[in-house]
Structure 1
Amino acid sequence: MTKEIYIAGAAMTPFARHTTRSMQDLVQNAVLDALADAEVTAGEIEAMYNANVYGGMVLGQVLVRDLGITGPPLYNVENACASGATAVHLARQALQLGLYETVLVWGVEMLTALGGGTIPLQRNDYKTDLYAKAGMTLPTVYAMRGTRYLHERGEPADTLGMIAVKNRAHGARNPLAQQQKEVTLEEVMASRPVAEPLTLLQCCPSMVDGAAALVLTTKRPTHGRPATRILASAVQSGHIEEGCDDILDAEITARTARLAYEQAGLGPEAVNVVELHDAFTIAELLYYEALGLCAPGESGAFLRSGATALGGRVPVNPSGGLLAKGHPLGATGVAQMVEVAWQLEGRAHGRQVENARIGLTQCTGGGIAGVDHAASAVHLLGL
């Protein structure tokens, strides 16, 4: 019999430039808040999962040492931008196998420590390194997708900008988002060019720090409020692309989503709220189609219909997404689940999706030559 996996506690720090705080401070605040939210003591935690990309060796042990949470197994997980979601995936597996009853998962990143600029491409893959030396960066990769999208779909460049307007309007309602200011379409399109057709306000901020934490358990929570369950969890790696591939086909995300839907016995029509990986505006449009939220080729019309805005049929990124909330890599996948859990439990004050019962999170990660992405994770959550 498949065990029910509950999110008993969920917490996150503000995503911001935490220039006066350490990574230890951020994680410890998120962890203690998640434990308090779950009404669970540190002594009840049987395993821990730390997700991070740039923090170094045995980082998790360093981060919680001063809390006195030592002894249980601690797993350090790195899977690029999908690190946090992958850590949740591994924790859920262990809970379902009966290895543990209650575990703690957190993700953290301090991108301000990198000094600014774009996130570097993969440097231990010689093919990717050749791309980097030729000037290829993640913004240019997504800019190529954006250019192709506008050409093939006959869409105006404003369609890309509308994603930024929507998500930054959502972020203005989220006190934990890095950027809490609404913008107009004119402001988005007139912001500094980054890589045509993408402008600055169409790219997630790269200077952001933050942490998020979850308490996962097979025990039915007794804290008196609805408890979110993890209905499905899927992680996949990218296929090698041979020949002339379709750069608008988010194959790895579509494949991972199919697995998650099959696990949960649900279809995309059942989803009420989505947190997805909108590192650049074009990504959100492609993921609408890959996740089955709309038919192939209809993402522009789907956006313009208002379906993905607060008050629409399936609000996407009510937190503000990566574009407004920020993208501290290791924390992102966990923070997406914190947001969806709050939405399902009626705790997303100021940006609440009404009557939401099924939520989806999606995170991709890793720029490797010859594959769509290195990793993709999709989770379905429900009451």
Structure 2
Amino acid sequence: MSRKVFVVGVGMTNFVKPGAGGDYPEYGKRAVENALADAGIKYDVVQQAVCGYASGDSTSGQRVLYQIGMTGIPIYNVNNNCSTGSTALFIAKQLIEAGIIDVALVLGFEKMAPGALGGGMFKDRESPLANHVRKMSEMAEIVKSPITVQYFGNAGLEHMKKYGTTEVHFAKIAAKNHRHGMRNPRAQSKREYSVEEVLNSRKIYGPLTKLMCCPTSDGAGAAILMSESAVIQFGLQRKAIEIIGMEMATDTADLFTDNSLMKVAGSQMTAIAAKRLYEKTGISPMDVNVVELHDCFATNELITYEGLQLCGVGQAGKFVDAGDNTYGGRVVVNPSGGLIAKGHPLGATGLAQCAELVWQLRGEAGTRQVKNAKIALQHNLGLGGAVVVTLYKKGFTDRSKL
């Protein structure tokens, strides 16, 4: 039988504006301590650790974890743009799945610069996204707006042109996420906005206004992963949430041969990973109760509904209008408030998504709780590119007793 992998402990800090106080070692230490406490284990149980951050010096993971303990374990440092946190999870899952270890710690953290996300850390070399920018420039004029908002603003414009989506659909998504974020004590933004207020906020690029865009953030998240035997050994059956499937995809060659602004913004990666995941697990998108997806911009949340097969291609506008993306609808998307309300410290985002879904499946999400949540889906996207899509399931079955 293949080795199952479970999340048995999660933790995260509040997400805050850059410069609000604190540094990455402090954020990371707090998230790890929370995750260890949630699992009820000591750090010396951890056999390997995978740390993710998108901006920072080499071995920053060691700088954080040495505060917890110096046990000589392997510590990996991962950078995969905005999908960094889930990439770290993906690596740790494979280490356990392959039988290399039984207990892994996954940590994501970020201390970001204030203001809009820039195009790269280094000015003396070509950006990893240079080819993506060149491809986008073949289809749209490159302007002075932040390049990241141009990727997702242009993707939204393409969806509008192809399927009749409107700015109101994007505003409804942003208003929904701000409304959800009000229930999340760890969210950076806890204010509700009407659709009209979202539409009337400062225009950033294309259909995107300020309230449709996620803020830059500081913060950290962490998770403890275990094999089935380790869960039993430590008596964590009631805490354990199974990772029933996880797929990572990167860009395919037709990103540069086709003329699609949505592909430049990662839509095809999402569709590929989701298709593989459903096929391998036998889970249907109709089985999913709760979703945390990468709403860096409201346009991306709408486009991602289709890539994850939560609705048909071209049907995302109707999905939004029907309220099928929130409480009382078909599936609750971003109960945490998503990146738009919760915040987006790049390396921590994938771990924060994981934590929210674990809390939801355990029934520990408080006023955000999705009723009868049994299957959860996570989507974490990084341009350049990589996407990780994950399915979680409530309940632990001891197969040794079957």
| Partner secondary structure for residue 257 of structure 2 | coil
CA distance in 1, matches of 2:326, 2:344: 20
Q: TM-score, normalised by structure 1?
A: 0.93
Equivalent residue for 2:246? 233
Kindly provide the CA deviation profile for residues 135-189 of structure 1, in whole angstroms up to 9, marking residues without a partner as x.
4611112111222222222233211100001011000000000001110011100
Verify the 8 A CA contact 2:86 2:388 in the aligned structure 1.
Answer: yes
Percent of aligned pairs sharing the same letter: 36
Match for residue 212 of structure 1 among 211, 221, 232:
221
CA distance in 2, matches of 1:88, 1:311: 31
* In the alignment, structure 1 residue 253 sits paired with structure 2 residue 270: yes
| Partner secondary structure for residue 367 of structure 2 | coil
CA distance in 1, matches of 2:91, 2:271: 21
What letter matches 1:96 in structure 2? E
1:15 shift after superposition: 0.6
Match for residue 175 of structure 2 among 140, 157, 165:
165
CA distance in 1, matches of 2:155, 2:178: 22
Equivalent residue for 2:399? none
| Partner secondary structure for residue 138 of structure 1 | helix
Of the structure 1 ranges 224-233 and 295-304, higher mean CA displacement relative to structure 2 is found in 224-233
CA distance in 1, matches of 2:46, 2:235: 16
Equivalent residue for 1:12? 12
Q: Judging changes above 3 Å, is the alpha-carbon distance between structure 1 residues 270 and 69 closer, same or farther for their aligned structure 2 residues?
A: farther
1:129 shift after superposition: 7.0
1:16 shift after superposition: 0.7
* In the alignment, structure 1 residue 376 sits paired with structure 2 residue 387: yes
1:270 shift after superposition: 1.0
Give the gaps of 5 or more residues in structure 1: 369-373
1:56 shift after superposition: 1.2
- For residues 18-97 of structure 1, the aligned pairs below 5 Å read 19-97=20-98
Equivalent residue for 1:192? 202
Match for residue 275 of structure 1 among 292, 295, 301:
292
Of the structure 1 ranges 132-141 and 300-309, higher mean CA displacement relative to structure 2 is found in 132-141
Equivalent residue for 2:397? none
CA distance in 1, matches of 2:279, 2:129: 34
What letter matches 2:222 in structure 1? A
Of the structure 1 ranges 224-233 and 41-50, higher mean CA displacement relative to structure 2 is found in 224-233
Give the gaps of 5 or more residues in structure 2: 121-125, 395-402
Q: Judging changes above 3 Å, is the alpha-carbon distance between structure 1 residues 358 and 195 closer, same or farther for their aligned structure 2 residues?
A: same
1:22 shift after superposition: 1.4
1:84 shift after superposition: 0.6
Q: TM-score, normalised by structure 2?
A: 0.89
Equivalent residue for 1:243? 257
Equivalent residue for 1:319? 336
Equivalent residue for 2:127? 123
CA distance in 2, matches of 1:22, 1:165: 31
CA distance in 1, matches of 2:22, 2:281: 40
Verify the 8 A CA contact 1:42 1:69 in the aligned structure 2.
Answer: no
1:126 shift after superposition: 4.7
Verify the 8 A CA contact 1:310 1:351 in the aligned structure 2.
Answer: no
CA distance in 2, matches of 1:237, 1:146: 21
Of the structure 1 ranges 232-241 and 208-217, higher mean CA displacement relative to structure 2 is found in 232-241
CA distance in 2, matches of 1:312, 1:23: 38
Equivalent residue for 1:307? 324
Of the structure 1 ranges 341-350 and 247-256, higher mean CA displacement relative to structure 2 is found in 247-256
Q: Judging changes above 3 Å, is the alpha-carbon distance between structure 1 residues 377 and 292 closer, same or farther for their aligned structure 2 residues?
A: same
CA distance in 1, matches of 2:215, 2:107: 21
CA distance in 2, matches of 1:49, 1:348: 26
1:116 shift after superposition: 2.0
* In the alignment, structure 1 residue 142 sits paired with structure 2 residue 113: no
